[in-house]
Chains A and B, each alone.
Chain A
């Protein structure tokens, strides 16, 4: 497979969810208009917010939508409600699957594989579960996946809990799974920090998709 050029952004500060979502959509639209445009990867952190997929069940939000304390976004991805916050590393991939494999199941499994490799780098043993997309350590969820797709151009991606306030997940039924327990990477490897995880995420994505990264 030839290497593809991808634009990578990995801000050090906390980013607004809305701004990054708009940015993803711009890159997706550009790829739809002309598939010679580059793919786009974003790795960073958000302020506390809750996001729902288009098919999400509002019953999995355990607070009122009118409650102004909470930022809620409905976005173009599959899956149920989840939440983002500082200390959780979010990765978005705007990829043209026509250059890889036009198969969303393949893509979801590929992302799981990538996350398992990332955690493996930090000697954390984790696994996927059939029928429960995401990555797990025992019965605890360490990483969540949600993908949108238009003309095989993907949007959104995955989030890994590195060192975040897991209590925020108590305000929702994560992924629509009752009694779903969440985990942080830091609990399994005291010596890591989020900047290091960010570096490994970039490295493994680059290797797995054969990207030439261009910063912009």
Chain B
């Protein structure tokens, strides 16, 4: 019977890890708790240990390659005589970086046990990797010997180029380096690959699930460095997602848009959010719910331009813009929020975000929005305006909710949390008065009746 070694999660935000080094070779005896390989994420290394006594039968992902968290990267067998058969079955995989399809095939072949058991092993693997139980026999290789590693295969490439090559399956040996002394640069990998592949990550900072108003008392250190997809002096090709966004942005130039803004007091909304947060409710779900409920009363703002006239969609579907860490953005859609309770809506949103991360959204989950939300509140911006996505009539830009000195109608002065929102709309179908009355009702709902957002 063979047991799988999985790519462990070194942090809650990690989606993939790099195999730095296999400390054991196929065929080597391993003891429970012994380090088998080293995985790296950013500047941190983690030893991955065997969760049982046996033999390392197969290495499915070679050192230097990158694998998603949870991916099978190696196989351990209990008895020495099983090594040969497992190796035989995994022949194709051991010499090259396997595709996940091949891996699936492998596990089907080698595992005679029911799926349930695989689950158990997964759990056990986790347990042993993460918890300390028994004394570990230490792995006595003199690591302080710089000359041991593979100096012979001197392919000179920048770390970013190597990462890209690993992700795109480009063979570094076949790439001509354009850098100093033939060093392979990120550009060379992109060129060699023709069409760059985009692996979507949800930007941590762009997470639409909160606005800073919700984190009362938690002062975040301002991040002074920005995101960049290339190095100074480089020109980086657009990835597929960025190209798609470019096309949409360009087509917006044909739409006569206007903007209208509103300042909304969020004191009550923030208090309500604090109460429901422990039940898994996200700020995104609250805002989506508020917008959808208001749109129900203002069908004009949910409409869009078509050649035949003003098109009124059958449903209210709210798209929410989410930035991808490697460029581009995607707009997962919460369908019919008025018919879904707040808790279910929050769960749906979390699921959409998770699946956006692993690029598993179905087309109708990101292309069926009738109205779009863009929230940059988490960066503390006081206002911005958004560009209208094609096929829709309006988009709402949501800024940060900030303590603001407010003059009240009775002449008193107080400090209230104020959030500026800014609606961009297609003037062919939505007029200033439509937008303004929509915002007035949205503000009323958020300022006075946030608890009605529950259902």
Could you say which residues of chain B place their CB within 8 Å of the CB of A130?
205, 223, 225-227
Could you say which residues of chain B place their CB within 8 Å of the CB of A134?
43
Could you say which residues of chain B place their CB within 8 Å of the CB of A147?
43-45
A102 touches B130 (CB 8 A): yes
User: How far, in Å, is A51 (CB) from chain B's closest CB?
Assistant: 9
Tell me which residues from 213 to 257 in chain B have a Cβ below 8 Å from any Cβ of chain A. 221, 223-228, 231
B151 touches A58 (CB 8 A): yes
Taking a contact as CB atoms closer than 8 A, the residue among B49, B138, B221 that contacts A113 in the complex is: B221
A100: CB under 8 A from chain B?
Answer: no
Could you say which residues of chain A place their CB within 8 Å of the CB of B231?
178
Could you say which residues of chain B place their CB within 8 Å of the CB of A88?
none
- Chain B interface residue number, banded: 35 or more
The number of residues on chain A lying at the interface, defined by a beta carbon within 8 Å of a beta carbon of chain B, is 54
User: How far, in Å, is B37 (CB) from chain A's closest CB?
Assistant: 10
- Whether A65 contacts B147 in the complex (CB less than 8 A), given A29-B138, A55-B18, A151-B130, comes out as yes
B223 touches A33 (CB 8 A): no
Could you say which residues of chain B place their CB within 8 Å of the CB of A148?
44-47
Could you say which residues of chain A place their CB within 8 Å of the CB of B38?
54-55, 76
A108 touches B158 (CB 8 A): no
Tell me which residues from 30 to 47 in chain B have a Cβ below 8 Å from any Cβ of chain A. 35, 38, 40-47
Interface readout for A41-83 with B: 1 if CB under 8 Å, 0 if not? 0000000000011110111000001000000111111111000
B113: CB under 8 A from chain A?
Answer: no
Could you say which residues of chain B place their CB within 8 Å of the CB of A80?
159
Taking a contact as CB atoms closer than 8 A, the residue among A33, A127, A128, A149 that contacts B44 in the complex is: A149
B136: CB under 8 A from chain A?
Answer: yes
A33 touches B221 (CB 8 A): no
A206: CB under 8 A from chain B?
Answer: no
B154: CB under 8 A from chain A?
Answer: yes
B47 touches A104 (CB 8 A): no
Please classify the interface of chain B as helix (H, G, I), strand (E, B), loop, or mixed, using the class held by over half of its residues.
Answer: loop
User: How far, in Å, is B330 (CB) from chain A's closest CB?
Assistant: 20
B114: CB under 8 A from chain A?
Answer: no
Determine the residue in chain B with the shortest Cβ distance to A133: B43
B14: CB under 8 A from chain A?
Answer: yes
A151 touches B154 (CB 8 A): no
B131: CB under 8 A from chain A?
Answer: yes
B21: CB under 8 A from chain A?
Answer: yes
Instruction: Give bound CA distance, A192 to B40, whole Å.
Output: 36
Binding site for A on B (CB under 8 A): 10-14, 18, 20-21, 35, 38, 40-47, 49, 129-132, 135-136, 138, 143-149, 151, 154, 156-159, 162, 179, 183, 205, 221, 223-228, 231
| A-B interface, 6 closest residue pairs, ranked by CB to CB distance from nearest | A105-B11, A55-B20, A129-B225, A104-B44, A79-B43, A78-B45
Q: A55-B20, A130-B226, A134-B43 are in contact. List 8 more A-B contacts (CB 8 A).
A: A29-B138, A54-B45, A58-B151, A73-B146, A78-B40, A131-B228, A136-B225, A178-B158
